[in-house]
Amino acid sequence: MKLSGIRPRTWIGLTITFVVGIVGFVVYSLYVSISVSVPNAYAMWVAPELVIQHMEANNGAWPGNWEDLRPYYIPGTSIESPSGFENLIERVEIDWTVDVVNLRQSLPTNPDDLRVIWLRDGRDDQWLGAGPNELIYKYLKDGYRDPAPGYSIRIDNSQHPVADSDEY
């Protein structure tokens, strides 16, 4: 079949199908970015921040569950996502069995080799330079903190939990 033998109506149909496909892909990509990737990235910054605050307030002890972290969650910060502590729990998985003393002694040379916090959905959404394991790694290695936006006001107040509210 020659291309010149295709009827104009067929070309119009193919063009419309192609354009609709491209527009659909762009809309879907935007939806995933706004509703999944960005909230996941915030969650992957907030979770290690909560772990670090817990460790600072509890003589370096690793938290045992989400309830240990709840007092350090701050509703109404400048972080727009994840909205609510329960949303954070739904998105993020933490290895609650970490032995901090052994972990510090056997820290890998590359922060990418540490895996104590990850997304439940298997994605790898995170802010550049603020991956959860990288933040934990830096903290365990030399005490470096890069607090999540809106949480920097809590660095000196980690001994005083703020709220139990899930409201945002």
pLDDT tens, position by position, 95-140: 999 999 999 889 888 888 889 999 998 778 777 667 888 889 989 9
In a domain, 15, yes or no: no
Q: Domain span at residue 140?
A: 41-157
Task: Indicate if the alpha-carbon torsion angle 73, 62, 144, 46 is positive or negative.
Answer: negative
In a domain, 2, yes or no: no
In a domain, 54, yes or no: yes
Nearest C-alpha neighbor of 41 from the set 161, 147, 126, 124:
126
In a domain, 72, yes or no: yes
In a domain, 48, yes or no: yes
Q: For residue 73, what are the contacts with CB-CB under 8 A and spacing of at least 6?
A: 46, 50, 85, 88, 162, 163
In a domain, 55, yes or no: yes
Looking at per-residue pLDDT, the higher value among 100 and 164 belongs to: 100
Q: Per the confidence metrics, is the pTM higher than 0.85?
A: no
Residue 158 has pLDDT above 70, yes or no: no
In a domain, 76, yes or no: yes
Domain count for the chain, please give it.
1
pLDDT tens, position by position, 9-29: 888 888 899 888 888 888 877
Q: For residue 75, what are the contacts with CB-CB under 8 A and spacing of at least 6?
A: 84, 85, 163, 165, 166, 167, 168
- Separation in Å, CA 127 to CA 3, 42, 148, 167: 47, 8, 10, 24
One-letter amino acid for residue 112 of the chain: D
Q: Which of 14-18, 90-94, 158-162 is modeled with the greatest confidence? A: 90-94
In a domain, 133, yes or no: yes
User: 């790694």: which residue's tokens?
Assistant: 137
pLDDT tens, position by position, 59-80: 999 999 999 999 888 776 545 4
Query: In the prediction, which pLDDT does 10 show?
Result: 85
